[in-house]
Amino acid sequence: MQLASWNVNSLKVRLPHLLQWLETNPVDLLGLQELKLTDENFPLTELEAAGYGAVFAGQKTYNGVAILYKKATMPEPVDVLVNLPSFPDEQKRVIAATFGDLRFISAYVVNGSEVGSEKFEYKKAWLDGLLKDCEGWLAQYPKLALVGDYNIAPDDRDVHDPKAWAGQVLCSDEERGRFNTLLGLGLVDSFRLFEQAEKTYSWWDYRMLGFQKNKGLRIDHVLLSKPLAEKCTASVIDRAPRKWEKPSDHAPAIATLSI
């Protein structure tokens, strides 16, 4: 089984890329972030033609999350949840569903703009809500995957220039501390279960040849509960779609499980 996450940065624009990627990477479950479209414009017909069902929570211009599931391998989703119970919010940032005995959550964490800003305070409060809810989810669902764009680079290995980014948004101690607390609840960063090439990132700025110079951050993560982590056989970031014409600024993250 393969579980994946991809911030597509506009599903309308990136739909051809998504369909192309799924054709060569037929993952079983895929969490999408930054749909940037409303529910009535969600491309369900095109995805079903590619063999995928979906649950989604869209929003005009910003945010929006979805879970795609391969109809040939996955049961129909039940117990669909939108957003955090502990953090009422108009922004569509979380969608969760259960497939058999697996709880799968796609999350788009607040960016935070800059440390000390109102948006940064919002990010911290949002993350505190995620921590509170995740504790309950892990107690309820032993097999749980929390995937998404976390907008947090967990440590300096995940940053192209740690000195330049030190203390900045995405890399601050306050954000990293909350990420580590999430791991302390019983989640595992699947990427770090394996030896990885240095300077492996999942996001690169469109500006100043960020991708071409590999000036990136690893901020997209597939976190697994311990029963799933024990079955994880690989966890990678697929840089290929970032090379395509008019790409998302994020690359997909994929974990493979022997279940």
CA 19 remoteness from chain centre: 18
Query: Are the beta carbons of 79 and 98 closer than 8 angstroms?
Result: yes
Q: Among 100, 63, 106, 58, which Cα is nearest to 79's? A: 100
Residue 149 falls in the annotated catalytic set: yes
Backbone angles phi, psi at 97, to 5 degrees: -155, 155
- Nearest-10 crossing angle of helices 173-184, 118-140: 10
How far is residue 202's CA from residue 13's CA, in Å, rounded to a whole number? 19
Residue 141 falls in the annotated catalytic set: no
Instruction: State the distance between the two ends of the chain, measured CA to CA, in whole angstroms.
Output: 6
β-strands 102-108, 94-99: how paired? antiparallel
Tokens for 145? 């995957």
Query: Are the beta carbons of 62 and 35 closer than 8 angstroms?
Result: no
Which of 69, 133, 141, 149 is catalytic? The answer is: 149
Which of 52, 69, 108, 150 is catalytic? The answer is: 108
Residue with tokens 């959550």, as numbered in its chain: 105
**Which sequence positions are flagged as catalytic?**
108, 149
